[in-house]
Chain A
Amino acid sequence: EAQVTQNPRYLITVTGKKLTVTCSQNMNHEYMSWYRQDPGLGLRQIYYSMNVEVTDKGDVPEGYKVSRKEKRNFPLILESPSPNQTSLYFCASRSPGGKENEQFFGPGTRLTVL
């Protein structure tokens, strides 16, 4: 089954404790991205990657890091989480170009930083 997986689905942590949210896709997509979703603000892109070893900032990259060492994986790293990073996070993947290339979203990770 074609899918994007994220782990963990739920996470409660404390300020300053480094964490990683994993993302993996099995569709051989070149393009992957991370979004955060907050009430009233919609989906905001954190980082995106066009291919292995190619990443770029989205609209709200502060406080986050990413890496793309393999095509299928795109982990999101919070080196020193703060309460304002409490949010719902989505990973997504897609093949670039084309009219019918939909973007697939993972199930989401709900993060709470105390």
Chain B
Amino acid sequence: QQPVQSPQAVILREGEDAVINCSSSKALYSVHWYRQKHGEAPVFLMILLKGGEQKGHEKISASFNEKKQQSSLYLTASQLSYSGTYFCGTDLTGFQKLVFGTGTRLLVSP
């Protein structure tokens, strides 16, 4: 079951914040976040395990609401380098069968 990402696209000015959501209809073991720039391979951002943890790296953080089976990715004070397509991948069992959402395209303009 493919997770649902929202919004499908976001346009920001440099310095603005954004939130990308990822929802599943099934109970999740973990959620993975990746960013892909045009013509390149996806690059890992972070993993969140069930338990409702929140983690982050510099100005990009994420949370996982186990009750809602939803994860949110927070991009604070966006930079031009944040532009790309963001994918969440969900794992139901812990056996690494990742199912990815259709992606959220983020464009940060000067």
Q: Give the interface of A toward B (CB within 8 A).
A: 31, 33, 35, 40-45, 48, 50, 56, 58-59, 90, 94, 96-97, 99-108
Number of A-B contacts (CB under 8 A): 54
| Residues of A contacting B32 in the complex (Cβ-Cβ under 8 angstroms) | 103
Write the nearest CB–CB distance from A3 to chain B, whole angstroms: 10
Take A42-B2, A43-B87, A102-B47 as given contacts and tell me if A58 and B100 are in contact as well, using a CB distance cutoff of 8 Å. Answer: no
Once the chains bind, are A106 and B41 in contact (CB under 8 Å)?
yes
Cross-chain contact B96 with A33 (CB below 8 angstroms): yes
Contact partner, B96, options A41, A42, A48, A59, Cβ 8 Å: A48
Q: Does chain A have a CB within 8 A of B42?
A: yes
Decide if B41 touches A42 in the complex (CB within 8 Å).
no
Q: Is the CB of A105 within 8 A of B42?
A: yes
Query: Is B42 touching A42 in the complex (CB atoms < 8 A)?
Result: no
CA–CA, A32 and B44, complex, Å = 15
Q: Can you list 21 residue pairs at the A/B interface with Cβ under 8 Å?
A: A35-B100, A40-B102, A42-B2, A42-B103, A43-B100, A45-B98, A45-B99, A45-B100, A48-B97, A50-B95, A59-B99, A99-B47, A102-B44, A102-B47, A103-B32, A103-B44, A105-B41, A105-B43, A107-B40, A107-B41, A108-B41
Q: Tell me which of A44, A48, A102 contacts B100 (CB under 8 A).
A: A44
| B49: A residues at CB distance < 8 A | 99
The residue in chain B whose Cβ has the minimal distance to the Cβ of A30 is B96
Residues of A close to B99: CB separation below 8 A: 45, 59
Please state if A104 and B102 are interface contacts (CB–CB under 8 Å).
Answer: no
Q: For B46, give the chain A residue with the smallest CB separation.
A: A102
Q: What residues on B are CB-neighbors of A96 within 8 Å?
A: 95-96
Closest to B48 in A: A99
Q: Please state if B42 and A90 are interface contacts (CB–CB under 8 Å).
A: yes
Which residues of B have CB within 8 Å of A105? 41-43
Q: Which of B95, B97, B101 lies at the interface centre, i.e. has the most chain A CB atoms within 10 A of its CB? A: B97
Residue among A42, A97, A104, A106 with most chain B CB within 10 A: A42
Say how far A39's CB is from chain B's closest CB, in angstroms.
10
Tell me the nearest residue of chain A to B88, going by C-beta.
A42
